[in-house]
Amino acid sequence: MADRLGFWELSVQVVIPQLLVAVRWTLALTICAAVLGTALGLVIALMRISRSRSLRALATGYVTLLRGTPLMLQLLFIYYGLPQIDPRLTFDPFPAAVIGMGLNSGAYIAEIIRAAIQSIDKGQMEAARSLGLSYGQAMRFVILPQTYRRLIPPMVNELVALSKDTAQAMVIGLEELLRTGSHLASRFARPGPAYLWTAVFYLGITVVLSAVATHLEQKLEAKE
């Protein structure tokens, strides 16, 4: 039946409605993984510049491990591997994907935040400490706020990459954009519309992300 539909009918009646469902999973995964990854990234970044040798070693090990192995492997390990180690570590595809992508982006975001912190003039920390602020207060009120504007460009890159990397969660059965798009493509004799519209959806996400970032950057710039 659908085989005989034209491009527009196929698109409007079948492909776009299904992709509109799938894009919710992609967006939810992007947002959850970004939030988890940013929180984790901040902690790992602070560990990497801390004075404690063991905290530094732990954080370096974390970053090395997660950046040194493929994301897809990490997702497969969490979804299929963890339950074999302990059945209590069994996750549905969505939470497994959030955990995997959050842990993975945490490693990249940690490096972004660390670089931003280290780009702040040493005199800032010194001035803050000379006023009696503790290390933590100096970080919170003096150093980190100055990194925000510098963080926007690399963080947007990271978010754009993250939103596209959500496609890899298809291997653990998450019905996100690419998995849905591929199913649609193989269901009909004509795979074109399915892949085309899938691409449009991804493009929509990344373009909106970049536009929001530019706006944010201009707003912060106006303040200084």
Partner 1 sequence: MAEPIIRLEGVRKRFGKLEVLRGIDLQVWPGEVVCIIGPSGSGKSTLLRCINYLEKVTAGRVYVDGQLVGKREVGGRLVDMSERELDRMRAQIGMVFQRFNLFPHLTALENVTLAPIQVKKMPRAEAEARGMELLRKVGLADKAHEYPARLSGGQQQRVAIARALAMEPKAMLFDEPTSALDPELVGEVLAVMKDLAREGMTMVVVTHEMGFAREVADRVIFMDGGMILEEGPPAAVMSAPRHPRTREFLSKVL
Q: Smaller CB distance to partner 1: residue 76 or 125?
A: 125
49 interacts with partner 1 by CB under 8 A: no
Residue 87 or 123 with smaller CB distance to partner 1: 123
CA 164 from centroid of its chain's CA atoms: 9
Residue 133 or 171 with smaller CB distance to partner 1 = 133
Using the minimum distance from each CB to partner 1, give the nearer residue, 14 or 128: 128
Candidate residues 90, 119, 124, 186; the one interacting with partner 1 per rule CB under 8 A: 124
Residue given tokens 């993975």 in the structure block: 104
Q: Considering only the stretches 6-14, 91-99, 109-117, 132-140, report the one whose residues sit in contact with partner 1 under the rule CB under 8 A.
A: 132-140
Tokens 């004799």 found at: 189
- Among 65, 66, 60, smallest CA distance to 33 is for 66
* Residues counted in the chain: 224
- Which amino acid is present at 220? L
- State the SS3 of 97-159: HHHHHHHHHHHHHHHHHHHHHHCCCHHHHHHHHHCCCCHHHHHHHHHHHHHHHHHHHHHHHHH
Closest contact distance (angstroms) between CB of 143 and partner 1 is 10
The helix/strand/coil state of 49 is coil
- For position 131 contacting partner 1 by CB under 8 A, the verdict is yes
The distance of closest approach from Cβ of residue 144 to partner 1 in the complex, given in angstroms and rounded to an integer, is: 10
Q: How far is the CB of 111 from partner 1 (least distance, A)?
A: 23
Binding site for partner 1 (CB under 8 A): 121, 123-124, 126-135, 137, 141-142, 145-146, 223-224
